[in-house]
Structure 1
C-alpha cells in the first residue's frame, strides 16, 4: 500500500513526509501524538519558541547544512503563510568581545548581518557592549505544526494515531500494509522504542513564558550560558556563565512574545517552575523594558499569558541521521513482538534515523527532511534494482 512509513509527527516527521511525497514516494505517518495535539507534552514541537538561530558548531557540522537549507526554504513558507512565518531583526548581545575565530559561520548568507558595539548614542539592548545583528525567521510553533499536519492530509498522506510497541511493528501495520522502509523521527521516543533504544538520547528541559507585548517586534538574545550544564562538583570559585534570556515575537495579530532562557539536561519534569519563570521575566525585562508596555515600570507589569514547558529531544554527539539496514525479528524475543507475522521474520528492511536535534527542530527541519529523503530514495532505488 505504501513505499515508506514515517514514525513521528513532530515538525521533523511532518517535514520529511512532505519531502518524500514531493519525490513521488507514497508515504504514511504513524504517531502517538499528532499535529493537532497542541497541548500535548508527549512531543516537543508545540512548545518551541521558535526562530532560526543556528546552534551548529561551524560550517563543517552536518547541522549547518540543514540550517542553511531551512533558512532559505522558510522564505517560501513566509510568502504562502505570513501569519505563520515572517522575517524580523535579531540582536544577539554579549559581554565579551569576540575575535575572528568566533565569527558566526552563517554571517555570509543571513540577511543584513552586522557586528556591533554599543555607543552612547546607539546603545544595544540591555546596555550590553557587543552584538551580532541580522534578520531571521520566526515561526508560530503550534500553528505551524498544525499547518504542516493539514498540508500532509490535503495531499492524501494519512496520519495514523498508533503507539508502537517496537520499531519492527511499523513494517507490517494493518493500516499501512507491508513496507520495507521506515523513517524514525520519534525524538525522545528513540530512547525507549524497542529496536532503537538509543542511550545517547536525553531530554533537555525548556521553560518559556508567553506574554502579551505588542510593542516588541525584534528578537533579542543573551545566551552566552545557554548550554551550560549544572555541575555540583565544579570549582566554586569559577565564574558561572550568565543565565540565558531571549525573546521571540510570534507572528500573528495577538502581540504575543515567547520569553525563555532555560536549558536543563536530563530533567523530565513538565511542571512549570514559577521561580524560574520569575527569573526569565526579570532578565528579559532588563534586555527590553518595552515588554511591560508603554506605562510599565518593572517586570511585574508584563502581561503573562501562560507558562509552558517542553522537553527538547537531544542526543549526545548530536543528531542521528543515517540509514540502517536490518532484519525484522532481531529485537528482544521475536515471538512476542507485535506485528511480526511469520512471513515477516528475518525480512531485510531499511530504517532512516532522523532524531536527536534538541532545540533545533524547526530551524533545520527543511534541510533535515531533504537529507533524510535522499537516504530514503537511495534505499528504495536499491530495493527496486534488486527486484529486477
Structure 2
C-alpha cells in the first residue's frame, strides 16, 4: 500500500512558533506526514515575518501567568540542551546575563525563575547602575534568530522529510489541503488578526526597532526595563562579534519603517548601560524593525473545531506570543501537540497500517 499522505498534518506559518510545532511533531515520527504552508520562510525578510529580527535571548520579559511561567521553564531547558549538544549547528549559546528594573519589579516571576535558572543571584546595590531599583544575574541562552530558524528549516526538510509550500492562504479553511488533512496548526502570528476563519480581535502588533552592530568585546547580555522603555544588548552567536541593540516596545503600532532618531536613542541608551560598548570601537551594520504578534490575554494555545466542506476538522491555535516566541515557543508547541494526542495516535496507527 502507498505511504500516508504528507498533508495529514498542516502547519500554517514558518516563524519560530510554527517551526517548533513541526520540530516537536517530527521528533515523534510524524515528519513525513507534515506540510508547512507559509508566505515567508527562513531566509526571507519582512516586517510582518518577525522571527528573524529577534534579539534574541532568554529573559524575564514574558508574562507571569501560569502558562507563561511553564513555557519559560520548558523553553530554557530545551534551549540549554541545544547549547550543550549542538551549539554551533543550532546557533544557540549559554551566555552570562544581567537584568535591571527601574521600578515595577516582578518579584513572584523572578522567584519562580530563580528555581531553575543556572547561576542565579540577586545583584547587590553596589552593582546596580544609577536609577536602578533591582537586578539579577544568571546564565541565559542567546540565539542567532535568523540562523536558528534556518537550522530548524534545514533539519525539518532534509532530515525529517517535512514538506514546505510557499503560499498565502485566503482563509484558515484553505489550510486543509486535501481530504487527507486531519489536523491544522494555526501558527499565523500577527496574521491571525485578519485571516478569515480566525480574525482574532485580541491580536495586535507591537513594533520594535533594533540596531545590529559589530562589537566583539561585548560578551554578555545586559537588559534594563524602564517605565516607558526597554534597553538591551544581546550578543548574536555564530556571527563573529555581532550584537543586537534595542529597543522599542510600541503596542498597537504597525509601522515597519526604521527611524534614525530611534537608532540614535538605542545607541545612546546602550552605551550608557554597557561599559564594553561605550569604551570600545563598534560599527553599526544595520537597523531593523519588526511587528511582534501580541495578544490581549496572552498567547492562544487551544484546540478548536472547524467545518470544511461539511466535515468537522481539528484546528489547533498557537499564536500571540509577542516578543517571547523563542523562549516560550517550544513549550507552546508541546501544549499544542498534547491537545491533539488522540488524533495523533490515530494517524500513527493509520500510517503503520499503510506501510504494511
- Normalising by the residue count of structure 2, what TM-score does the alignment of the two structures yield? 0.89
| Correspondences of 1:233-382 after superposition (within 5 Å) | 241-294=227-280, 302-328=282-308, 345-381=309-345
Match of 2:211 in 1: 209
TM-superposed deviation, 1:312? 0.3
Which of the residues 86, 89, 102 maps onto 1:95? 102
Match of 2:353 in 1: none
Match of 1:105 in 2: 112
Q: In structure 1, what is the Cα distance between the partners aligned to 2:117 and 2:25?
A: 27
TM-superposed deviation, 1:101? 5.3
TM-superposed deviation, 1:17? 0.7
Q: In structure 2, what is the Cα distance between the partners aligned to 1:31 and 1:99?
A: 36
SS in 2 for 1:172: coil
Q: In structure 2, what is the Cα distance between the partners aligned to 1:109 and 1:364?
A: 15
Match of 1:40 in 2: 46
Match of 1:230 in 2: none
Q: In structure 1, what is the Cα distance between the partners aligned to 2:193 and 2:105?
A: 38
Which of the residues 32, 38, 51 maps onto 1:31? 38
More helix by share: 2
Say whether the 8 Å CA contact 1:285–1:292 is kept in structure 2: yes
Using the TM superposition, name which of 363-372 and 376-385 deviates more: 376-385
Match of 1:147 in 2: 151
Q: Which runs of 5+ in 2 are unaligned?
A: 350-356
Match of 1:82 in 2: 87
Q: Which runs of 5+ in 1 are unaligned?
A: 225-240, 297-301, 329-344
Say whether the 8 Å CA contact 2:102–2:225 is kept in structure 1: no
Say whether the 8 Å CA contact 1:54–1:64 is kept in structure 2: no
TM-superposed deviation, 1:153? 0.5
TM-superposed deviation, 1:242? 4.9
Q: In structure 1, what is the Cα distance between the partners aligned to 2:212 and 2:155?
A: 27
Relative distance call for 1:242 and 1:182 in structure 2 (3 A) is closer
Which of the residues 45, 49, 66 maps onto 2:55? 49
Q: In structure 2, what is the Cα distance between the partners aligned to 1:108 and 1:354?
A: 27
Match of 2:196 in 1: 194
TM-superposed deviation, 1:70? 1.0
Relative distance call for 1:129 and 1:191 in structure 2 (3 A) is closer
Listed one character per residue, the Cα deviations across residues 238-257 of structure 1 (whole Å, up to 9, x for unaligned) are: xxx25221110111252111
Size of the aligned set, in residue pairs, is: 340
Using the TM superposition, name which of 149-158 and 247-256 deviates more: 247-256
Q: In structure 2, what is the Cα distance between the partners aligned to 1:348 and 1:167?
A: 14
Relative distance call for 1:322 and 1:101 in structure 2 (3 A) is closer
Q: In structure 2, what is the Cα distance between the partners aligned to 1:384 and 1:23?
A: 10
Say whether the 8 Å CA contact 2:173–2:197 is kept in structure 1: yes
Q: In structure 1, what is the Cα distance between the partners aligned to 2:140 and 2:231?
A: 18
Q: In structure 2, what is the Cα distance between the partners aligned to 1:136 and 1:80?
A: 16
Q: In structure 1, what is the Cα distance between the partners aligned to 2:103 and 2:304?
A: 44
Q: In structure 2, what is the Cα distance between the partners aligned to 1:98 and 1:166?
A: 42
SS in 1 for 2:81: helix
Q: In structure 2, what is the Cα distance between the partners aligned to 1:57 and 1:269?
A: 24
Q: In structure 1, what is the Cα distance between the partners aligned to 2:110 and 2:348?
A: 46
Q: In structure 2, what is the Cα distance between the partners aligned to 1:315 and 1:55?
A: 15
Q: In structure 2, what is the Cα distance between the partners aligned to 1:112 and 1:280?
A: 29
Q: In structure 1, what is the Cα distance between the partners aligned to 2:22 and 2:232?
A: 31
Say whether the 8 Å CA contact 2:294–2:321 is kept in structure 1: yes
After TM superposition, where is structure 1 displaced by more than 6 Å over at least 4 residues in a row?
Answer: 382-385
SS in 2 for 1:91: strand
| Correspondences of 1:120-131 after superposition (within 5 Å) | 123-125=127-129, 128=132, 130-131=134-135
- Normalising by the residue count of structure 1, what TM-score does the alignment of the two structures yield? 0.82
Q: In structure 2, what is the Cα distance between the partners aligned to 1:116 and 1:246?
A: 17
Which of the residues 1, 8, 14 maps onto 1:3? 8
CA RMSD of aligned residues (A): 2.3
Relative distance call for 1:180 and 1:98 in structure 2 (3 A) is closer
